[in-house]
Amino acid sequence: MASNGYVRWFKDIRNSDVAMVGGKNASLGELYSTLAAEGILVPNGFALSAACYRDALTAAGAWNRLHALFDDLDKTDVAELSRRAAEARAIIYDATGTGEIRRQVTAAYQQLEREGGRNLAVAVRSSATAEDLPTASFAGQHDSFLNVRGAAALFEACRRCFASIATDRAISYRIDNGFDHFKVYLSVGVMRMIRSDKAASGVIFTLDTESGFRDVVFITGAYGLGENVVQGQVNPDEFYVHKPTFRAGHRAVLRRSLGEKSIRMIYRRGSAGQADTTYNVATHKADRARYCLTDAEVLRLAGYAIAIEDHYSANAGHPMPMDIEWAKDGPGGELYVVQARPETVASRRTAGGMESYHLKGTGRKLVTGRAVGEKIAVGAVRVIEGPHDLEAFRPGEVLVAEATRPDWEPVMKTAGAIVTDHGGRTCHAAIVARELGVPAVVGAGNAMATLATGTMVTVSCADGDVGHVFDGALPFEVTRLPASETAMPRTQVMVNLGNPEMAFSTAMLPNAGVGLARLEFIIGEQIRAHPMALADPASLRDPAARKAIDKLTAGYASPAAFFIERLSEAVGTICAAFYPKPVIVRMSDFKTNEYARLLGGTQFEPKEENPMLGFRGASRYAHPAYAAGFALECAAMRRVRDEMGLTNLFLMIPFCRRVEEARRVIEVMAGHGLKRGAGGLEIFVMCEIPNNVIQIDAFSQLFDGFSIGSNDLTQLTLGVDRDSEIVAFDFDERDPGMLEMLRLAVTGARRNGRHVGICGEAPANYPEIVSFLVGLGIDSISVNPSSLLRTIAVVREAERALQPAAREREPA
């Protein structure tokens, strides 16, 4: 036997050597030997080959004994599984304790010492010959050992690593995944430890792990050694980087989230005769309050990840999303890749499709109102009389309230369904429920008096306009149509989206982009403070509000910087998800009473008798009472386009009453660096006031397109308060007067060569309106995610119905 017969150095290993050194070591060798030219740092190390494991067990006569333990094993007998696994580990541990293995391990370790210093710390990790493959990761099934020092301790760790092929979990994993115990062999990887105990470490995925969205790099990190992140023992920092714009040369973090990072794993030096180990300590408060990586480091890691994915994809001949572990060296500050393997979960997930809900039972109706969401949910009632009741709310419960507020949204995100006494289909509860994809019954009138906390109910919004709350848990079925079966029509069907957390999953459905992203919902959820309070915090007279804003914006250069970064990252996430399709973002359209609820807002907002018709939309942007806040909005939008490179962002002005007001807003935006036409910037206007329709020729001279807001346009055309349950029956987009308004808007925009779409819910609720608009030649229809696929089908059917008439009009 050659003196180095079982040792393979990383420089001599390639990805094709899985049978020799297992998936993990083959990947490390590939990284170390081929990607150094890309500037990717990988610590040096070596592998003990799978032949070492096989030869040792053969020489010890271990195979027959292992067959006796595994061949008739019933994994459901947990106690017997544990007993046999322990016996198997003892057999393997004894078999691998040979003098020859000890000699080869010692010689290789001494070589590492010559490179890195005496008593060098190394990591010892398993690498199965069926591991880290595109269809099976074996992640976490075998044992790893960190901070191993000295040849004797290393030999001991290698033996324990070999034996871990017989852990209870590894045995069960092989059975569940159809692997033959005797065709999976173990190699051991030995790598120089990076002193991330003095810095940080974490995991990178080259896709979004929740949705499977492929165009982002997702980076997580925490202080100390990486085991806490890998094992889920710590809530890490999270970062996203957008791949297409990164490749185009733009260097910006797309989105970030500060994790608690409550503990950090560090080295513990063993006392005399004892092995070195690792242990957790509490993270200092100041460290927990800041990110473990700088933006420059995040972007460097993103570059590593993209290069690794490109390399593996090129070798595989198809896209190969990757799961990568990284570590930062405390003393030197360098960033290293310590593991890379194909991602095996999210990348295999298929995109969603159309869902149809149907009740299969009947029950006593408790409450009736207007239906939102087209779904059915079952849950226990939780009556919320005020904010003090929110602490008791549990995920999956049915939230029952008089009305909902923007600051309730974190709790609303966990609700199984929402029921309110007040409000119409466009109230806060309805809009949020649509974006969250949960059913809601609004304007019920008697829900608070009828429903009691703890009562089990079924909320059904699957029967058109009317929603019902039934007593008890009723059975229901869900029919799903794969998105792959949903062809796109000629008319653009876009999506309304205000929640960045839903952007990646929604973008994977068929769509033509985002027809409406409401800035006010992003401000309410992501920022929670009044823009003027952040633009001029020194003017705040309320000490409690000032203290709260100081806490909210801690770690930022200024409250204004906080606003710009948070808003730009939220909008940027939506733009990145749909890139390069257009994303039309509507500048803020809070009413004064809604603005006043934001942190510090009461000082900056007047009290109005009718906020719906008051100081809202375009009238605010150049007004001294809000000009500084609008400047911050513009700065955030400019950052999305210029720094992030997301030029698919278009802007839209809401509630613009007069042509002169429109001209003034366009000038103000240009002064803030958002000049119409510059860099391809298009500026749209909401067509939601009768004057927008009457003077559509004049508005067309100032804007690139129109989006019909059917909710406000119906309200102002019919003179109906859409949030009043008393007259809600008169709110109907199908009224002949409203249809004429829609006709004038569409034909007027087309006459002026301007894009025209609709972003209200009328098309989703009424198929006849879809047919009417398609017949007029509308360019786009934008609906909420829950209505998207159904609307595509309705539009396609409307276009088919129009084809014979179109052919008849063609000249002979």
Which positions ≥6 away from 772 have C-beta within 8 Å? 739, 742
Residue carrying the six token digits 């006796």: 68
The reply to whether 427 belongs to the active site is: no
Separation of alpha carbons 51 and 92, rounded Å: 14
Specify whether the CB–CB gap between 352 and 509 falls below 8 A.
yes
What is the Cα 235 distance to its own chain's centre?
16
Burial (0-12, 13-18, 19+ Cβ within 10 Å), 282 = exposed
> In sequence order, what are the beta bridge partners of 687?
708
Measured between alpha carbons, how far is residue 110 from residues 44, 192, 395, 434, 580 in Å?
13, 12, 55, 63, 54
Separation of alpha carbons 292 and 158, rounded Å: 32
Kindly name the residue from 158, 427, 656, 759 that is annotated as catalytic.
759
3-state secondary structure 91-112: HHHHHCCCHHHHHHHHHHHHHH
Report the length, in residues, of the chain: 812
Measured between alpha carbons, how far is residue 568 from residues 50, 352, 535, 576 in Å?
51, 28, 16, 11
Cα angle 293-296-297, degrees, rounded to a multiple of 5:
45
Q: Which amino acid is at 377?
A: A
| DSSP codes, 191-216 | EEPP-GGGSEEEEEESS-TTT--SSE
Separation of alpha carbons 254 and 216, rounded Å: 9
Separation of alpha carbons 33 and 49, rounded Å: 18
The reply to whether 672 belongs to the active site is: no
> 84-115 in b/e burial notation, b at 16+ Cβ within 10 A?
bbeebbebbbebbbbeebbebbeebbeebbee
Paired sense of beta strands 216-223 and 200-205, if any: antiparallel
Separation of alpha carbons 300 and 217, rounded Å: 11
Which positions ≥6 away from 557 have C-beta within 8 Å? none
Task: From 144, 145, 143, 139, select the one nearest 173 (Cα to Cα).
Answer: 139
Separation of alpha carbons 132 and 112, rounded Å: 26
Residue carrying the six token digits 């541990």: 93
Kindly name the residue from 181, 250, 428, 530 that is annotated as catalytic.
428
Helices (H) and strands (E) in the chain, counts: 30, 30
Query: Which residues are known to be catalytic?
Result: 428, 759
